Structure 1
Amino acid sequence: MAGTLLLERGHAVTFYEQKKAAGRKFLVAGHGGFNLSNRIDQPAFLEMYDREEIREMVRAFDVDDLVAFLDKIGIPTYIGSSGKVFPQVHIKPIDVLNAWLAYLKRLGATFLFGCQMVDFDADMVTLLVEGNEETKAYDRLVLALGGASWSKTGATGKWLELFRGKGIEVVPFEASNAGFEIALPEAVRAFEGQPVKHVACYLGQKEKYGELVVTQYGFEGAPVFYLNGAFRQGNKALLLDAKPGFSLEKIIHILEQAKNPTEGLKQLKIAKALVAYIKHKLRKEEFLDRHFLGQFIKRIPFTIEALRPVDEAISTVGGVPFSALNNDLSLKQFPAVYCCGEMMDWDAPTGGYLLQACFASGAWVGSMIK
């Protein structure tokens, strides 16, 4: 997006890409539905971000700006569930990417592929091209080097060492929007891949309603991704309300009216995976006690052992902190070098918030370079 704005204002822009084609990570975002942004009200939207700096950028380039840009390059959008913004149903992720690349080429952009950045200073950037180092002069150098997730797309995070060697402040990468590793009993893991719908999850001071998916290692799903930050803050005790729409009294009443607890759980439509977990955790006398069982249904405890590895994560936190950047996202030590996207240290859950912030940070840089 930085290059787009600069080209629109008449600047000469060359894109250097280490892979053989552009937008590998962009296309990964299209797996399972290309959720480009979200149309929930702006205060709630901005609360999804953990840094005021990234909120400011999203205010400056919001979902309306993104939708207008997509429409300009021939990509109409629609609003799906929970306010999520998608390309129209007949449009594939590769179509969005190709439309954007075609627009950039019409504006005069130059693209060079197979170019890996290995060094830079205040005036020059060194690229590794087919095994040979080439040095290029620049007026402004905009870096979008990514985080450390989905390394097969080129986002390895190895640039962190280059920055550290130059004395630039960096933060080690950690997984974000990753599954929770929880020691589930075999009876629960037998339901691998099955959803646990309509539950409320609590971790530390955070809570999230939604749907979980059982895995061999624990749980994944939107509530899990949302609560990643709370886990990184040191919270490990996950509580799950299996019937957030029911009061404790109503749950107990249904259990008492049923001929046995198992039938009561069926009437409450508790997910089979949770029924297996409840039976595993409770002693017989606890399971038969309708009051105890009802309370357990409202506060099912799990212990989170870890997040899944960085390379399995949807995104990462870490990278260049805002304390190392000027307001225009240039490096304090190299004022002609700019950072944007996932290489900066910020966090957001899935649901369109990650991509919107990446677009917005690029637009911020593009608007700041005069």
Structure 2
Amino acid sequence: MSALVIGAGPAGLMAADALLRAGVPTTLVDAKPSFARKFLMAGKSGLNLTKMEPLAKFVQAYPTGASQLRPMLEAFGPEDVRAWAEGLDQTCFTGSTGRLFPTAMKASPLLRAWLSRLDGMGLERHTRWRWLGWDAGAFRFDTPDGTRHMTPDVTVFAMGGASWARLGSDGKWADQFAARGLRTTPFQPSNAGLLVDWSEHMRTHFGAPLKNVTFHAGNLTNRGEAVISVRGLEGGGIYPLGPALREGAALTVDLLPDVTRNALRDRLAKPRGKQSQSNALRKSLKLPPAAQALLMEMGRPLPSDVDALAGLVKALPVRHAGLRPMDEAISTAGGVPFEALDDGLMMRESPGLFCAGEMLDWDAPTGGYLLTACLATGLWAGQNAARYHASLPPVTQKKR
């Protein structure tokens, strides 16, 4: 056997694709009963493949790992993702925000077409094969047929991070790496909701969106939408701030980002007459009910000084208890640091072993960035694994 890919998510599938295209016989294994379960789950609400924007702007969306990912994204960026999907007979369209979706909206048709193509290229694949670590240099697996050992010429690891364990990304591979003396960094939640202990007054707003607001945490800023849930705040408005929030940065929200502080002060300075403060605020600020509720929840007692009140609306502190648990996060940071890998994603301390996808220590927001980088790193690792394989002496290939 020549090449082994462990983990059948988008990164692993792309690595296998690259190896097969290079003429390297490849076996792909996964611990779950079927392939790409997290990919399929993500596609249930509409499969966001990538974001159609210039590469320079695209790369800036990655809060960590951007410099290391750049060459991989240059080799396989948004336009390449579109071409790849259409090459699998999946027509695509670009939404109003620049996000690219397959016309079918789901992941399953694309996955079926991809697996069919890989099968036609000679892929050998197995499910319910859980990697147990190394045994005297061989890879040991627990399989439906008992313990199996494999000694490939080259291997690509693509076993995901440590979120959504029920779908296969449990992060347990890090223990095997540690036992082997291979470097990893601790996993941390990424693209996770924020825990907020709401008062009873917020109950009627559970499920309501906060729209057209801007969130700030540390040096990160994001304008987007977040939903008020029973446990806190969730959504694309919050997720990109994860790197700052998990480091303990305070969160503030600008409830009216299109209105200046001076303009707000002028509105608030108007006499309110016999109106209650809440009614006067509602009429002068014209906040949606959810935003008005958040202001009262986090800002009371509201300052009587007009300038201070305007400042509160522009930078409302949101008390919270940190990010949701890691297994509830969409993705994770942590894993194999880029410093432990060469430019081809091969482990410096173990020639012939490559890593890809969410196993690598990088952050990406939702909106197509996460999936694109998984595909790009999988392709990069697979292509470099194929080059490494080609450099091996024939006698080495036979013995391994």
Matched, 1:335 2:348: no
Question: Given the alignment of the two structures, is residue 65 of structure 1 paired with residue 75 of structure 2, yes or no?
Answer: no
The counterpart of 2:102, out of the listed 53, 62, 87, is 87
Q: Deviations over 1:264-315 (max 9, x none)?
A: 424533132332233345556x465544332221111113321100111000
Give the secondary structure class of the aligned counterpart of 1:304: coil
Structure 1 pair 258–19 and aligned structure 2 pair: CA distance change class (3 A):
farther
- Which residue of 1 is the match for residue 242 of structure 2? 228
For 1:239, what is the secondary structure of its paired residue? strand
| Length, aligned pairs only | 367
- CA distance, structure 2, for counterparts of residue 46 and residue 280 of structure 1: 37
Give 1:6's aligned amino acid.
L
**Displacement, 1:256?**
4.1
Q: TM-score, normalised by structure 1?
A: 0.93
1:41 aligns with 2:54: yes
1:258 and 1:264 in contact (8 A); partners too: no
> Are 2:208 and 1:194 aligned?
yes
Separation in 1, partners of 2:76, 2:91: 18
Question: How far apart are residue 222 of structure 1 and its match?
Answer: 1.1
Deviates more, 1:353-362 or 1:136-145: 136-145
What TM-score do the two structures reach when normalised by structure 2? 0.87
What pairs with 1:1-370 in structure 2 (closer than 5 Å)?
1-49=14-62, 50-51=64-65, 52-88=67-103, 90-120=104-134, 124-130=138-144, 132-235=146-249, 237-257=250-270, 259=272, 260=275, 261=277, 262-266=279-283, 268-282=285-299, 286=302, 289-368=305-384, 369-370=386-387
| CA deviation after TM superposition for structure 1 residue 122, in Å | 8.5
Map Cα deviations across residues 125-183 of structure 1 (whole Å, 9 max, x no partner): 11111272111121111111111111111111111111001111111111110011123
* Counterpart Cα distance in 2 of 1:63 and 1:266: 44
* Structure 2 SS opposite 1:305: coil
1:364–1:257: structure 2 CA closer, same or farther, 3 Å change rule?
same
AA matched with 1:158: K
Structure 1 pair 267/99, CA: closer, same or farther in 2 (3 Å)? Answer: farther
1:40/1:82 contact within 8 Å kept: no
Q: Kindly, what percent of the aligned residue pairs are identical?
A: 35
Range with bigger deviation, 22-31 or 256-265: 256-265
* Partners of 1:283 and 1:264 in 2: CA distance: 13
TM-aligned CA distance change 1:358 to 1:122, over 3 Å:
farther
**Structure 2 unaligned residues grouped into runs of 5+:** 1-13, 388-400
Amino acid at match of 2:229: T
Instruction: Tell me if the contact between 1:34 and 1:93 (Cα under 8 Å) persists in the aligned partners.
Output: yes
In structure 1, stretches of 5+ residues that fail to align are: none
Tell me the alpha carbon deviations over residues 240-264 of structure 1, each in whole angstroms, 9 at most, x when there is no partner.
1100001122223333457444244
Deviations 1:65-90 (A, max 9, x none): 121111111111111132111101x3
CA shift in 2, pair 1:206/1:282, >3 Å? closer
More displaced 10-residue stretch of structure 1: 289-298 or 71-80: 289-298
Q: Secondary structure at the match of 1:74?
A: coil
CA separation in 1, counterparts of 2:332 and 2:200?
30
